Structure 1
Amino acid sequence: MSRLIAASRAGLGRRRRLLAGPVAVLAIGLVSFGFFAGFSGTSSATQPIVTQQKSVLEEGQYLFDEHCSSCHGAAGVGSTRAPSLIHAGAAAADFYLVTGRMPLNAAGQQAMQHTPFFNSHEIEALVSYVADLPRIHSTFPGPAIPSILPLCSANTKAAAANPNCVTLSYGQQTYALNCAQCHQIGGAGGILANGMIVPSLKSAPPLVVAEAMRVGPQPMPRFGTGQLDEKQLSAVVHYVQYLHSPENRGGLPISGFGPVAEGFVGILVGFGLLLFVARMIGTRG
């Protein structure tokens, strides 16, 4: 029995001696790490790091290189995947970024409205950089962010002649001639024959409407100052805001889809009632 106890104690001693080396190395490593960490912390406290903030253009270039250049090319020269942005202008950059249409999930698809990928500060930086591309390439600038004239206080002939404001009636006329064919008279939107989607205008902010007319996002045509001047553009913008909650002067609005949908419902209901009345008269005869 005593021999077993002695052997057991001898084995335990050997195991302790084997573990002593690794434990000592680990302890020395922990002490060294704590010493150097404390030393480096003291050094950084006595010598603070000086950071240099980027300018708006520098930040815009950084964001563009990180998120846009893979499709639009370095400095916006374009590529086989996406067009050049040299003449896009601030209006196009702001429109596509604020509405979340850019960046696209896949090249070649229609740019639809989504939650913006960038925050407001990043959008400002990217818009500034895209607007500065013509200077970098020594060429003419693209469309600037448009200004919107205020709505006249009275919808009269005298107010309509005022060059500093616009009327809703003028906006309705301009919208009917240039926009209603695709967006419907009530701004409900639709689908074109080639499968392109025309978005609804029921919640479009004023500046987004103005920028869209100057930019012409596919499949919408681009309305330059030669097609729609500042007053016509501003009138359409205010009329679109009116379409968000228009006055219904009688009848059912039917979601504001316009005369085609209203005519279809009128014919369907009208002929249905006529058929019902004709059947009732026939059974009595």
Structure 2
Amino acid sequence: MARHNSRRKSGRRSPLAAAALIGIGLLITGGAYAGASAAMAATSDSSVAASTLTVEDGQKLFQANCATCHGLDLQGTDSGPSLYGVGELAVHFQVSTGRMPLQAQGPQALQKPVQFTEEQTAAMAAYVQSVAPGPTYPDEDVLDGNGDVANGAELFRINCAMCHNVAGAGGALTEGKFAPNLHSTSALNMYAAMVTGPQNMPVFNDMNLSDDEKRDVISALLYMQNTESPGGFELGSLGPVSEGLFIWIFGIGTLIALTVWITAKSN
């Protein structure tokens, strides 16, 4: 009788061994991924901490970019006014909107692409505030947009609409100056403009508008920014000027074209 060979063939493995290998591979991969994620998070946290700028950094940025016009000690020069008393709020407004550094002398500073990051802007503002204190940032609830929208709209019409237009679309002033539109202005810069009075803007101190009333005005403007025009096309929100122009160009133009077509058809 022939003998059965009890030796297993070489290279043959148990199914349990394959499953174990797969499990070990998954554990190693998951551990490596978790370790890498933790390392990246730690690196990100350290980079954020390292990127926080100080007042000294703000001083260096100011001296490199602003001192030519405003003086090394903020005293002002023939090319730019003194910054004593303007405060960090005014610096934030001018720099965060791209108005400063000034591109060229003119009737007023124009908005242009912002040249500094938020941290750099905050550092320069903190430096100016440390040297010559002035208006500072408001409480967060002033900018939250949860004020009385109806009262804010009325206050805006009384105090601001003659320059900025009742819909905040801006308007022309004298000698090449203009009031900018407010359709993309941030709540903080709305407040800063009311408190610091940049360029042609009057200053609205607490005797003119309290912080609660400023909050209402900001809430009304934010509401207009976030609400579509109920009348359809806004046409620039410039009122009867753009509406009348639209009628003349398209309305009267359509009538003239129809008259010419009827005449040509009859002939």
Could you say which TM-score interval applies, normalised by the shorter chain? Answer: 0.5 to 0.7
Deviation at 1:190, TM superposition (A): 1.8
Contact 1:187/1:257, CA 8 A, preserved across alignment: no
Partner of 1:64: 62
- Output aligned runs, 1:182-221, within 5 Å: 182-221=163-202
- Which residue of the partner structure matches residue 156 of structure 2? 175
Quote how far apart the aligned CAs of 1:61 are: 1.2
Equivalent pair of 2:58/2:123 in contact (CA under 8 Å): yes
Q: Is 1:235 matched with 2:235?
A: no
Mapping of residues 24-103 of structure 1, within 5 Å: 56-103=54-101
Structure 1: gaps spanning 5 or more residues: 1-52, 135-140, 153-165, 274-285
Q: Counterpart of 1:117 in 2: which secondary structure?
A: coil
Residue pairs, 1:112-261, within 5 angstroms:
112-134=110-132, 141-147=133-139, 148=142, 150-152=144-146, 166-250=147-231, 253-258=234-239, 261=242
| Deviation for aligned residue 1:249 | 4.0
Evaluate the alpha carbon distance shift between residue 170 and residue 129 of structure 1 in structure 2; reply closer, same or farther with a 3 A threshold.
same
Q: Is the 8 A contact 2:194 2:204 kept in 1?
A: yes
Identity of aligned residues (%): 36
What are the superposed Cα offsets for residues 29-70 of structure 1, whole Å, 9 maximum, x if unpaired? Answer: xxxxxxxxxxxxxxxxxxxxxxxx997121111111111111
For residues 94 and 55 of structure 1, the distance between their equivalents in structure 2, rounded to whole angstroms, comes to 15
The C-alpha deviation readout for 1:206-237, integer Å capped at 9, x for no partner, is 11111111121112112122211101111111
Residue 217 of structure 1 aligns to a residue in which SS? coil
User: How many angstroms apart in 1 are the aligned matches of 2:99 and 2:171?
Assistant: 18
Q: Using a 3 Å threshold, how does the CA distance of structure 1 residues 222 and 259 change in structure 2: closer, same or farther? A: farther
Q: Which residue matches 1:138? A: none
Q: Output the CA distance in 2 between the equivalents of 1:198 and 1:89.
A: 23
8 Å contact from structure 1 (residues 89, 131) kept in 2:
yes
Query: Using a 3 Å threshold, how does the CA distance of structure 1 residues 69 and 174 change in structure 2: closer, same or farther?
Result: same
Aligned-partner SS, 1:86: coil
Maintained 8 Å contact 2:71/2:77: yes
Taking the aligned partners of 1:256 and 1:266, their CA distance within structure 2 comes to: 15
| Residue correspondence of structure 1 range 263-278 to structure 2 within 5 A | none
Structure 1 residue matching 2:225: 3-state secondary structure: coil
Q: Check whether the contact 1:82–1:107 (CA below 8 A) recurs between aligned residues.
A: no
Q: TM-score, normalised by structure 1?
A: 0.63
TM-superposed CA distance for 1:173, in Å, is 0.5
SS in 2 for 1:243: helix
> For 1:218 and 1:120, how far apart are their aligned partners in 2?
23
Where relative contact order (Cα < 8 A, 6+ residues apart) is larger, the structure is 2
C-alpha contact (below 8 Å) 2:168/2:221 kept by paired residues: yes
CA RMSD of aligned residues (A): 3.2
2-structure distance, mates of 1:272, 1:55: 60
Kindly name which structure, 1 or 2, has the bigger radius of gyration based on alpha carbons: 1
Corresponding letter in the other structure for 1:228: L
Change (3 A) 1:180 1:55: closer
Q: 1:250 to 1:114 in 2, by over 3 A?
A: closer
Conserved 8 A contact 1:81-1:108: no
Aligned equivalents of 1:271, 1:119: Cα separation in 2: 50
Which residue identity is paired with 1:216?
A: G
Q: Residues 149 and 231 of structure 1 are in contact (CA less than 8 Å); yes or no, is this contact kept in structure 2?
A: no
Deviation, 1:238, is 1.2
| 2:116 alignment partner AA | F
Whole-Å Cα distance in 1 between the matches of residues 221 and 53 of structure 2? 37
